[in-house]
Amino acid sequence: AQSVTQPDIHITVSEGASLELRCNYSYGATPYLFWYVQSPGQGLQLLLKYFSGDTLVQGIKGFEAEFKRSQSSFNLRKPSVHWSDAAEYFCAVGLSGGYNKLIFGAGTRLAVHP
């Protein structure tokens, strides 16, 4: 069955430090991969997506993610975190065919220390 695993439930980093959020997926076909961010009490905002081509994708707010097929991973990175990046981050995989179903990970909550 398809699944998405985000191993880290909570991560705390200092402002200005680098960030990497992990995402592993289980899916037999070529995946469509997404990262979303959710601020408290808000909806989900798309950060970036990977469909094909260059495995390093750039997104909004200075985020990037790298697709590694051999590791079934799609980790999110940012070189220097800002206090406004504190939020919950969700990785998702889109399934081929059908109605554009997305499978979401459980999320990683990011706290940023000043």
Partner 1 sequence: SQTIHQWPATLVQPVGSPLSLECTVEGTSNPNLYWYRQAAGRGLQLLFYSVGIGQISSEVPQNLSASRPQDRQFILSSKKLLLSDSGFYLCAWSWASGSKTQYFGPGTRLLVL
Tokens of 2: 């398809």
C-alpha 114/C-alpha 102 separation (Å) is: 35
Regarding beta strands 108-113 and 10-14, do their DSSP bridges make them parallel or antiparallel, or are they unpaired? parallel
Residue 102 C-beta: closest distance to partner 1, Å? 6
Q: What is the smallest separation between the CB atom of 80 and partner 1, expressed in angstroms?
A: 27
Chain residues that interact with partner 1, rule: CB under 8 A? 32, 34, 36, 41-46, 49, 51, 90, 94-95, 99-102, 104-107
Q: How many C-beta atoms lie closer than 10 Å to residue 45's C-beta?
A: 13
Could you tell me the two tokens for 80? 């220097």
Q: Which is nearer to partner 1, 17 or 60 (CB)?
A: 60
**Residue 13 Cβ vs partner 1, minimum distance, rounded to whole Å:** 20
Residue 14 or 61: which CB sits closer to partner 1? 61
Give the nearer residue to partner 1 in terms of CB position, either 10 or 16. 10
d(CA 108, CA 23): 10
